Every structure is written in C-alpha cells, then in structure tokens.
Structure 1
Amino acid sequence: MQNLQEGERALTAAVAAAGRTRLWSHPELGLHAFVDAAGSVRLGTSDRNWAALVPLVEATATGHGRLWSGERFVETAIGDRLAYRGHETVEDGGRERTTIRLADSVTGLAADVVLETCRGAGFLRARVRLVNEGGTPLRLESVTTLTLGGIAGADDGLGGLTLHWADNDWLAECRWRRTAFRDQVVPLSRSVHGHEGRGCFERCSQGSWSTGRHLPMGALTDRDGRAWLWQIESSAGWRFETGEREGAAYVALFGPDDAHHQWHQTLAPGEEFHTVPAALVRTEAGGLDAAFGELTDYRRDIRREHPDHRTLPVIYNDYMNTLMGDPTTRKLLPLIEAAGAAGAEVFVIDAGWYDDDAQGWWDAVGAWEPARGRFPGGIQEVLDAIRGHGMTPGLWLEPEVVGVRSPLARTLPPEAFFRRGGIRVTEHGRHHLDLRHPAARAHLDSVVDRLAGEWGVGYLKLDYNINIGPGTENGPESPGSGLLGHHRAHLDWMASVLDRHPGLVLENCGSGGLRMDYAQLTVAQLQSTSDQQDLLRYPPIAAAAATAVTPEQAAVWAYPQPGHTLDEIAFTLAGALLGRVHLSGFLDRMNDDQFALVRSALRLYKDIRPEIAGARPFWPLGLPGWDDAWIAQGLRGRHSTFVTVWRRGPADGTSCELTLPHLRGARLQPSVLHPTASDSTAEWDATEAKLTVFLPRPDTAVLLRLR
C-alpha cells in the first residue's frame, strides 16, 4: 500500500492566499473537490459558480438547524461552518481512497469524508465518519453521505435537465418515472426575492421495507446524453433530494433522518457515527444506458465474492403459481423429478415446510422445525430426493420474525425483540428480532447451522414480509437509530453465515422486491424481483430489474403451466433468460411439447449464462412503462448482444424498431434463440443501427442474439 498524503501546509498557505484550491479530482467523472479561503469544501465539476456548489457535508443537530428554513436539508448551520483541516489519498492496487477531514469549531463535530473509486472507473462511493470532539453531547438529526452541486444541462441551464426516479411497490417493482426537472423544481425569480425556494424534489423510504415505496436511486440527464445517477446503500432509512441553487441543480444523499425516519443519534464526547454508503455515476454520453452500465460494474465491484455470481445455476422454487406454501412429500416428489429432468440445478422448498399448526403457520413461525404431518418419512427423504436428481436442496426462511403464538415469543428475552415505548412491537401477527441481541443471533445461528450444516441445505431464500415501522428503542435510542443498528447487525449476521458455510447461497427477498438495496446485495447472492403472478404483468418488472440489481443477481419467476399454450410458456420463460431463472409450475403435468419447450429454454440459458455474468444492461425502447405494449431489454456481453422483446396485447402493428447505436456499421445476422420453434423474425440495418423485430401474434416474446 502506498500512502500519498498531500502537503497540507502548502495547501493551507494557498487557501490563505484568498483563492480556491482543488483538493481532489476524479478524471473519469469530471468531478473535483475545492476548498475556499474560509475552509469550505465543495464538490462539483467546476468552481466557476461557487455559490451553486453545496458544502461537502450538511448536518443538522438539535440547536443547530438550517440557515434557510424549509423542506431542504442543505444550507445547514453546521455544514456552513465545517472547515477544511487536511486530506490524504491512499492507493492499494487499482483502488483509491481519499479522506477529506473537516471540523466545526462551534460544536466540536469532526467529519471525515471518504471518497472511494477504482483507477479508470466511472463511479464514486462515499461515506462520512462523524466524531464529537467537543466537550458536551451533540444530538444529530440529519447528515449527508454525499452532496454534489453545479449540475446544469447542455445549455448551462436547468431547462434541458430531465429528472428520473423509480416507484416501487408489491407486485409493481422498478417503475421508472421521468419528467422535466423544471416540472418539479419551478423557476421562482430568485433575483427578485434574494433567496432560493424552500422546497425540493425528494424521495425517501418509510419503515423497514427499504424499497417499499421507491428504489433508493435517482438520476438527472441532459439533452446531450450526459447523466448523473446515484444510489443509497441502506436497508434502514434513506432519502435523497434535488433542487435549485444559484441557477444550477444540486443533489444531496442521506441515510435516515429525524424528520422522515424518527432517527437521531446523540454523540457523547469522543463517540462517533458512520453514515450509510452512497454511490454516484456520471457519464458524458450515452444517457441512462451508459450510466446504468457503469453502476452495474460498480455493484459487481463492491459485493462479496461468491461462486454463484459466475455459475448462475437454474433454480426451481415450488411456490409461485404452484404449491403456494403447501408443500408435502407427496406433492414435492413428482415436482422434484420433473424439475431435475427439465434441467434445474437447485430445488427450493418454499414457505410451509415447518407448518404443523392447526391454526396456521403465519403467526406461529420461529422455531423452523420440519412439519411431521407434511413429511411422514421426514424432510430428509425429500432433501435426499432433490440430491438424487442432481440438484442442490434449498429452503425458505424468514429469519427476522417470530410469530406471536410461537414459544420463542415467550422464551427469548424481551430485549431480543423490537420495542417502542417499552412495549414489544407487533405487526401482522409477528414480532421482530433485534439481531444486536446475543440471544436473537444465537437462535438464528443454531437454525442456519442445523439447516446448512446437519441437513446439507445449500440455498436459503431469506424472506421479509412485514414493515415493522420506524424501528426499535433500545434504552434512550431513537427508533430510526435502532433500525439502523439492527440492519447493520443483520448484514453482519449474513456475512458470518457465509463465513461458516462458504458454499451456501443466500437469496434476498422482501415480499418480492421490497428490500432491494445494495446494502443487502453486497452480501446476498440473489434478489427476488417480484411476487407478481400474472405473466402478462411481469415483463416491465423483468425488463427494469437490471436498473436495481446486476443481471446475474436478478431472480425472475418463470412459471409455465400445463394449462398454458406454447406461446404463454415461451412468454413466461423469456423474461428470466437474461437474469436468473426462478422456474416454477407443475412441470410434472405437462405434455411432451410443453416440457420440451421448457427444457430447450433451460439448455439455451446454460449456453448464454457465462456472458450474463459480465454483461451490461441497456433498453433500446427506453425504460418500460407499466402498460407499454412493446418492451425491450438487452445485455451487451463480451462477444454478443442479447435482446428480449415482448409484445403485450393488441399492439399497434406487428413489428417494433429498436436502435442499437453500439452496433452501428456492424455486419451481422440476428438469430432467434428463444423460442426455438418461432415465427418471429428480425431484420438488421447496419447503417442506421436499426433492428426491426416482427412478432405476428399478441402476448408473445422473443430472445435474439446479435454477434
């Protein structure tokens, strides 16, 4: 490791000369950190419009609020006072980490801003360490992880900027929206009033489903194809805001705060707090597609290494549109045989395998013991059958909850559960474990070590089906602080599970995609994208999933049924072939033609999956709308470009024209990969970089390869 600490005394002298000095630069992003003569440090592409830039850290504390009151959490008193006191850059291989140190002389609050990147990369990751160096406690109420100002369109104004964000809901995940920036942040004649507005455009989480309302992401683009794309990496609270400042746009990224998440953190003298990480991507051309490509590379860089990211095994899960939480030996054995014959490599027994309660399992879960009535010969008989057909056995688990009727609700200590006002929290018949408590963690460790160790289970689907609200109060802490503490303990627990069982695969599920964030996904190998059961409603989710998660982590349901036509079977399979196949359906009841179609799709997937693991996503028709008739999503691999096209309903016409600028001038012949017996065709115009796809019938889909 090489320490590249800057000459701070020379820099301090330069600052004292009343100019502004560049502290740090990221050439690929075109970003720079500047410090002025007063010691204020700000991040932007240029310091020409210094007033448009935002202090590098904005924070509020009780007694230290904002300089201009409103809905914004920038222009804070502490942020205005935080002054430069040094910085250093450390390189380790291709990685670079710069720490910029700031301090507030009034409160004694010190802030170390850590900016991380890789040499040649188009992303920046940030986090902030706060330390109370003063003599009295300080009650923090909000703090930024990253701020960026001076964003303008191609005309150096705001009229050409477009704002993007993603709504997210159960069964309706990854719904990207776009609008002109000026539709949300209207001009207010600042020159007349002498102030910016009091509002901003903001999105935030609510409760413990981090993506129950929106994805923790947003973007700004301009007419020339430049893009600023960001994500916040938190399974607890998060918020971002963007607004106008001195004729330019700014972005501020936060973890939890008091106003939105009931979070405050009291720092006694000497105590510290670390913000949640956040990442920023900036591209000069290519718009959102290019930015999502860079973000995909970044996500691959920060996650825990695991063989699953390279092998991409086909997963069969008995739940969706099939057993729906009612597994038994009798029902499972024919499905296991059929799944193995079709080409599945993992077989997951989903919810219900522990259900031996006459009143139902929902509010009685917690012990995670097999139901004797469901498995007369023992669950090992079924697990052995899975292995006997060449597949890895998997089980569903909801580790963070204990049903109100479970014996564990009485035997675990009260401090092992979420509480508010001294009362144990109950939601939808469940209590919530606090994994900071050793009894809660020991309980889950014993469960997982039994399943993965004694039983030989190689795959765990970790579900999360309640929103427990703002969090838990352990003593004097705020609910939001308790939720963040549990969230960090939960990530540490998952990592420790993988340390003990390195071959185990963990799927992250939150009622589908309601906890789809890159705090979870730096540890978990897969992400459930939805619980959507309507095959015609899944395409916009499947197509947009790669905005939220890398393709090789995006688990998409494919649930062909014996009652489906061949077109319907091909349609539901198509959505999973550029991500992770989560196969379901009564395969054992299919006729020969139906089963052959499933087998051919899985054979194809195994042929192309080596390219998926390193490919970048793109959207030739733009990000899909919920009711779009034509939807297209592609992957740019090292050797091939893949494109899936869906036609839903009585679309206007039987063809769709896609633009693929990265292949302009290339002589190639599009080939239909799926379905193999297809009357769909495609024509390529190399000069115009146009791919015309013909789907003669409604509610059909096709996967094409261009190489």
Structure 2
Amino acid sequence: MDLLSLIESYNFAVCINGVGVDNTSQGIALDRTEERTIDAGMKHSTATFHYVPASIVIESHQVRYTDTTLVERWVTIRNDGAEPVTIGRIDSFSLKLPTGEWKLMHYTSDWGTEFEPVVEPLAGESVLLETRFGRSSKGMHPWMSLFGQAGEVLTMSPMWSGNWQLRCEYNDGDGGYEVNGGLSDWEFSKTLAPGEAMESVHVAIASGSGGDLNSTSIAFARVGRKYWYPHNEFSRSMPMEWNHWWSYEDKAINEDVFRANADEAAKLGLDICTLDAGWFGPSEEASEWYEMRGDWAMVNEKRFPSGIRAVSDHVHGLGLKFGLWCEIEAVGKSAALSEKNPTYVARRDGESLGYLCFGNPEVRQWAFDMLDGLITGYNSQWIKLDFNLDPQAGCNCTDHGHGAGDGLFEHYNGYYRVLRDIREKHPEVILENCSSGGLRIDLGIMQKTHTTFLSDPDYPEHSLQAFWGATTMLAPDVCLHWSYSEWCGDNPFQQFKAADSSVKPHQFDYYTRIAMLRGFGISQKLPEMPEWMKARLAHHVDVYKSDVKPFVLEADLYRLTGQPGRGGTGDRWSAFQYSMPSGDADLVFVFRLPGGEASRAIRLQALDAEAVYELTWLSGDEQKVVEIAGSVLLKDGIIFDSLDVEDSALIRLKMLS
C-alpha cells in the first residue's frame, strides 16, 4: 500500500458562503498543477482550482521533503469575485483511508498531565479530535497516528497554536474513513473582500511502517531540524540552564538569592541563569503581580533594589548568560496598559479575555518594542515567553484589524509575526515557548521559537512520559524540561528535597540523567545542596557537554520501550537510543522505574548486524568497556539485571568494524 501517494493528493475541503466545497464538487474546475524544487530536499507542488459559482481560486499546496516520508499540506483561497465571501471551514488536507482495520492513537493534555495516550480502534463511528481552549495542546495535543493492520503508520500534526481539528469521518456507504482537518471551524469565519486571500494552517503528515512510531517521528525530527526550527549559534550550543522558579516560586526570589545561585551555577559549569516570574510588579515583598501583567516596565524594587540590569551584569560577570521570563500576550485586570489603551485588549462580547489582541497592528508594535527593550535594557540572551490562560474562541471585536469570526486566527498570525521580527532584530537571542508548562506545544510555534518547555511538573515518571510523547512530533534538542525540582509549594508528586538524607547517589543520577535526554535545565536551591550532590551534578554537566550534547543535537531518536505512565502505569522501564546519521556512533539511556521488573533486555535499533560495536558505560564509578556484535544487540539486546529501582545507565556505542 502506497500511503505516500495518499498524502500527496490535492484533496481539500472548504466551506464558502455556507456551502461545502471540495475538489470533486460541482462547479470546481482544475486549472493547472505546478511543481518547483525549492532546494535539494524540498519540492513544492500546487494544484489551482476555480470555484466558478463564487469566483473563488483555491490552491492546494504540498511540500514534499524528499529525503523523508513527510509532506506538508495547506490551502489558500482568493476571492476573485466582485462581492465579499465568507469562509467557514478550511481543511488543509483530505485523504481516504485504505479499507481494513485501523487503530487511532492520540494524546489528551492538561496542566501536569501532558501527553496522556489514548488508543482506540476505528470501529464504524466518526471521531473528532480538537481543542476549543485557544491553546493548541490544552485538552488534546495537535497530533494523531493511525495504525493499519499490515503495520502501516500515518502520523499527522496541525502546525498551529490555536484551535484545530482532526477528523476521522466514517462513510456508511462503503464502511471506510476519510481523514481531514487543520484549522478548527468552531466559532470561526473569515470574510474575504474582493481581491483578498487567506492561507489555511499547515498540517504535517508522514507515513511509516512496521507499526512503529519511530518510523514517522524520525521524519518529523529530521525535517524540523533542517527546515522548521529556527536556530542560532547560542541555541546550537545547547546551553545548560538554571531557572529559579520551582525552588523560589515567586515571592521567595530576590536579587540576593538569585546572585547566590548564579555563583553556584558558574561553579557547576552551567551556561545561563534565567529569572522567572517574581521580578515584575509592585514594589512589595508579597506583590500580587498577576493582575499587573502588561506593565512590564514595573520592577519589584523591594525584591530587586539594584534593578534587573544589575542582576544581569552580575550573571555576565561570572561568564554566564542571562535569561528573563515574560508573559507578553497577557494583560492583568489592574494593568495601566488596559486603561491607557483599551483597544489593545482582546474581548468577546465586550468582556476582557485576559490577553492582548495581536490581530491589532498597534499591539504588535507595542509588543515588539517591549520585548526589544527587555532584551536590550537588561542584556538578556534568553526570553521565556509564557501564556497562562485559555483564549477559547478568541476576540470578536471589529476595530482591531480583524473580523468578528477570525480574531483568534489573526491573533496567532500576529504573534508569529512579532516573534519573527524579534528574531530578526536579535538573531542570537533564544526564545523559549512555554504555556502553563506544555499547553501550547505545536509545530507552528516551533517555527518561531528555539525551544519549548514540556511541562511544569518534572517528577521522574511524568518527565519520562512527557518526553516519550513529545518526541513523537519534536526532535529532542528543541525540548526543554528540568530535572526533578525541589518545589517550595505543595505538590503530592514533587517530593525531592536536596537535604533529604535518604536520597542515594544512584537516585540523584537517575533524576539528573532524565533531564539530559534533551535540552538540560535545573531548578534547585543550589547554595543549599549537599557537597556530594553538587559534585555529582558537576559530573553530569561535564558528561552532558562532552558526550551527550552532540547526540541530542543531531542524532535520530529511537524509543526502545513503551511509554511510561503517571501513577505507576505504562512501561516501567524506559530506554532511548540516539543514533548518529553517520551510523557509526550511538548513545543509549536506560531507566528502571518503580515497579519495573528486576531484569530487562533492551534491544537496539538501526545498527549494522555485520559490525562489531564497542560499548562504554558512562554511568557507574568506572567506565566499563565491552565489545558486542551488532547482530546480538539487535536480536538479544543488552541485559540489565543489576539496576536498582530508580537507577539508570548511560552507554556510548562506537562501530569498530
């Protein structure tokens, strides 16, 4: 079965003036098809249709990434008529599933429960996956995979940060399924004036085989690294971050605490210290800054009497970079900004939605100027961009530069433009995407930011579950999640305390190695850490820099075990293999979770069965070195029978022959 030919079809579905139109509708005429090579790895094909009854031009686009099985699909619509037309639905793609049994996998998501898997058969009923929260991964992640009975895999992901839909629509006539989707049509409409055009959201679709998600996730990661993700010299260095948030949440942070932790971070070999929320707001010890968001020129001088620039200068004096948190889209109820500029605020039926409408060009200019000032004024090399609310259907004001039905659509288009402009003005600054942890993770925002925060909680099994899920659509180098943090607030799952004498070295190694799977960060009270723990952390920092970082940055990632689950569910061993494109070097992480059996064989992938490999253990007190045939590693695997619960192994492989 040639799934790629299904993906590469020009099928689409739109709604024009209340009438459903697709490429087979009466009144549709195919005008032409065109293909052009963008570079050696990209071919852009376009089919142009005319919908004669409304004088509409519809272009169905696809970009084929020729070194992979991934295709990017979208649609543009242009009104060539003399009257306005209203677009009510605009699907980026449509395809007919081959007959047979199919299984659907997707992820639900909420705060602290990101990437919760759901697997169900397609069994004679239509299925709708969507979010209506206005954030791409609140409720559900913008991703699904379909598994055929012969091992076929289809993985698709809307590249959009707002509301989206993916549908598996059952046909009673032939018992088959049509799969389509893109932008959500819930509460959406866009009026196109004569001569006006719009572009749908893009959807990435990859085909795979063997019933193996690795066969599609590797395609997503390769294309992301080469074509989608922005990068600069700083982001390519994979900086190791300390962030104050969980250990000094909000009211516990001040400039003395931050400076003391920066001093320790420098000794440990970290690269950047990020000042999260708590720096901003009225000058009071117990400042309630949340309702003041938007007034970003306001610094809490009670906590930071020397100002933010002085703190930044101290960090730079240690040889480190400085990062800063900001929720640039949000506006608090008490912010002077909303009183001074009421048309900046996104509203629905007159009520504030708690954010600024980036569909308004004045808001975009204000946001650019504010971010530019935070970067320049505080000498920031990293901006953490948070968003802690649900826009739902979005703004329906008609004096912002958008219509009543497309406010959320134009908000995100406007936000993307601001991020692009900031990157152009400050090309060496890292922009981090965050939204209540991982509630706005998508391939649209990842074309505009350098890294994304996976989740607020970071206890081990949750962290492994989130990483397993995130890497079905993202490369590990654009994922950021901290090691097991010491929270100053209460959370039943966040029980790590550095001063707890019951924490054993192998457990601390386990917690830290989980963070080494991707972009590395920590949120700990560094001055209060026991000396043995600091020494272990410094060791892991060195190993990450010398051995791990190149693999996270460049290697293909294979999930060698099933997805671990919160609450003791899922696979209780977790293993990941990073395989360099050259084929001669690999890195393997192995973790034994609570509830994991005493012995486990971990079979590797993507090795040469005819070769011999040198395996070097980078975990443990001594570097054990053995030689094993590739055929054995593929068939029998590596037997792990001496790892304690909450223990881990890190192994480097080198092809010898």
**What TM-score, normalized by structure 2, do the two folds share?**
0.88
* Residues in 1 aligned to 2:585 and 2:404: alpha-carbon distance in whole angstroms: 49
* Residues in 2 aligned to 1:349 and 1:293: alpha-carbon distance in whole angstroms: 34
* Residues in 2 aligned to 1:315 and 1:209: alpha-carbon distance in whole angstroms: 26
* Residues in 1 aligned to 2:311 and 2:620: alpha-carbon distance in whole angstroms: 33
The offset of 1:504, in angstroms, is: 0.9
Contact 1:543 1:575 in 2 (8 A): no
Give the match for residue 549 of structure 2: 609
Q: Does 1:705 align with 2:641?
A: no
- CA deviation profile, 1:570-591 (whole Å, cap 9, x unmatched): 1221112120001121121122
The offset of 1:299, in angstroms, is: 1.5
* Residues in 2 aligned to 1:568 and 1:79: alpha-carbon distance in whole angstroms: 62
- CA deviation profile, 1:406-426 (whole Å, cap 9, x unmatched): 1112111x22110122x1414
The 1:446/1:96 distance shift into structure 2, 3 A limit, reads same
The offset of 1:117, in angstroms, is: 2.1
Q: Which residue among 144, 150, 175 is the counterpart of 2:116?
A: 175
Give the match for residue 498 of structure 2: 562
Give the match for residue 656 of structure 1: 600
Contact 1:618 1:634 in 2 (8 A): yes
Q: Which amino acid aligns with 1:294?
A: A
* Residues in 1 aligned to 2:599 and 2:351: alpha-carbon distance in whole angstroms: 58
- CA deviation profile, 1:183-205 (whole Å, cap 9, x unmatched): xx32xxxxxxxxxxxx5112111
Give the match for residue 131 of structure 1: 78
Q: Secondary structure at the match of 1:403?
A: coil
Q: Which residue among 224, 239, 242 is the counterpart of 1:299?
A: 224
Give the match for residue 425 of structure 1: 352
Give the match for residue 534 of structure 1: 459
The offset of 1:681, in angstroms, is: 11
The offset of 1:180, in angstroms, is: 2.9
- CA deviation profile, 1:622-672 (whole Å, cap 9, x unmatched): 333442322223322234322322222233x31222222422624334433
Give the match for residue 552 of structure 1: 477
* Residues in 2 aligned to 1:452 and 1:349: alpha-carbon distance in whole angstroms: 13
Contact 1:435 1:441 in 2 (8 A): yes
Give the match for residue 387 of structure 1: 316
* Residues in 2 aligned to 1:302 and 1:541: alpha-carbon distance in whole angstroms: 22
- CA deviation profile, 1:60-79 (whole Å, cap 9, x unmatched): 2344148xxxxxxxxx6985
The 1:269/1:107 distance shift into structure 2, 3 A limit, reads same
Give the match for residue 371 of structure 1: 300
* Residues in 1 aligned to 2:292 and 2:396: alpha-carbon distance in whole angstroms: 25
Give the match for residue 507 of structure 1: 432
Q: Which amino acid aligns with 2:575?
A: A
Give the match for residue 396 of structure 1: 325
The 1:80/1:551 distance shift into structure 2, 3 A limit, reads farther
Q: Which amino acid aligns with 2:162?
A: A
- CA deviation profile, 1:311-342 (whole Å, cap 9, x unmatched): 11111111124445532012112111111111
Q: Which amino acid aligns with 1:173?
A: E
* Residues in 2 aligned to 1:249 and 1:57: alpha-carbon distance in whole angstroms: 15
* Residues in 2 aligned to 1:351 and 1:683: alpha-carbon distance in whole angstroms: 50
Give the match for residue 6 of structure 1: none
Q: Secondary structure at the match of 1:375?
A: coil
The 1:689/1:80 distance shift into structure 2, 3 A limit, reads farther
The 1:674/1:577 distance shift into structure 2, 3 A limit, reads farther
RMSD: 2.7
Off by >6 Å, runs of 4+ in structure 1: 677-684
1:402-417 to 2 correspondence within 5 Å?
402-412=331-341, 414-417=342-345
The 1:178/1:618 distance shift into structure 2, 3 A limit, reads farther
The offset of 1:697, in angstroms, is: 2.0
- CA deviation profile, 1:242-269 (whole Å, cap 9, x unmatched): 2445354432122121xx3x10112233
* Residues in 1 aligned to 2:337 and 2:621: alpha-carbon distance in whole angstroms: 52
Give the match for residue 72 of structure 1: none
Q: Does 1:459 align with 2:459?
A: no
Q: Which amino acid aligns with 2:344?
A: A
Give the match for residue 360 of structure 1: 288
Contact 1:59 1:140 in 2 (8 A): yes
1:438-449 to 2 correspondence within 5 Å?
438-449=361-372
Contact 1:107 1:134 in 2 (8 A): yes
Structure 2: runs of 5 or more not aligned: 486-496
Contact 1:125 1:277 in 2 (8 A): yes
The offset of 1:479, in angstroms, is: 5.5
- CA deviation profile, 1:65-124 (whole Å, cap 9, x unmatched): 48xxxxxxxxx6985643311111112332321110112222222211111123333211
Contact 1:363 1:403 in 2 (8 A): yes
Q: Secondary structure at the match of 2:300?
A: coil
* Residues in 2 aligned to 1:511 and 1:393: alpha-carbon distance in whole angstroms: 22
* Residues in 2 aligned to 1:680 and 1:202: alpha-carbon distance in whole angstroms: 51
* Residues in 2 aligned to 1:506 and 1:575: alpha-carbon distance in whole angstroms: 23
Q: Does 1:101 align with 2:41?
A: no
313-322 vs 618-627, which moves further: 618-627
The 1:677/1:353 distance shift into structure 2, 3 A limit, reads farther
Q: Secondary structure at the match of 1:319?
A: coil
Structure 1: runs of 5 or more not aligned: 1-26, 34-42, 45-54, 67-75, 187-198
Contact 1:683 1:693 in 2 (8 A): no
Q: Secondary structure at the match of 1:287?
A: coil
* Residues in 2 aligned to 1:119 and 1:538: alpha-carbon distance in whole angstroms: 33
- CA deviation profile, 1:274-326 (whole Å, cap 9, x unmatched): 10111111134562111100111121212334224421111111112444553
- CA deviation profile, 1:462-489 (whole Å, cap 9, x unmatched): 0000112210013186655100101011
Contact 1:578 1:635 in 2 (8 A): no
* Residues in 2 aligned to 1:424 and 1:439: alpha-carbon distance in whole angstroms: 20
**What TM-score, normalized by structure 1, do the two folds share?**
0.82
- CA deviation profile, 1:189-247 (whole Å, cap 9, x unmatched): xxxxxxxxxx5112111122110011111111234433111111111221011244535
Q: Secondary structure at the match of 1:491?
A: helix
Q: Does 1:577 align with 2:512?
A: no
Q: Secondary structure at the match of 1:686?
A: helix
Contact 1:166 1:176 in 2 (8 A): yes
Q: Secondary structure at the match of 2:375?
A: helix
Q: Which amino acid aligns with 2:580?
A: G
475-484 vs 119-128, which moves further: 475-484
- CA deviation profile, 1:438-470 (whole Å, cap 9, x unmatched): 432333223222221122111100000011221
- CA deviation profile, 1:12-49 (whole Å, cap 9, x unmatched): xxxxxxxxxxxxxxx9964169xxxxxxxxx65xxxxx
The 1:404/1:677 distance shift into structure 2, 3 A limit, reads farther
Aligned residues: 622
Contact 1:554 1:579 in 2 (8 A): yes
1:267-306 to 2 correspondence within 5 Å?
267-285=192-210, 287-300=212-225, 301-306=227-232
Q: Does 1:86 align with 2:60?
A: no
670-679 vs 368-377, which moves further: 670-679
Give the match for residue 632 of structure 1: 575
Contact 2:331 2:345 in 1 (8 A): no
Contact 1:59 1:78 in 2 (8 A): no
* Residues in 1 aligned to 2:144 and 2:191: alpha-carbon distance in whole angstroms: 30
The offset of 1:507, in angstroms, is: 0.2
* Residues in 2 aligned to 1:322 and 1:464: alpha-carbon distance in whole angstroms: 20
Contact 1:241 1:252 in 2 (8 A): yes
Q: Does 1:143 align with 2:90?
A: yes
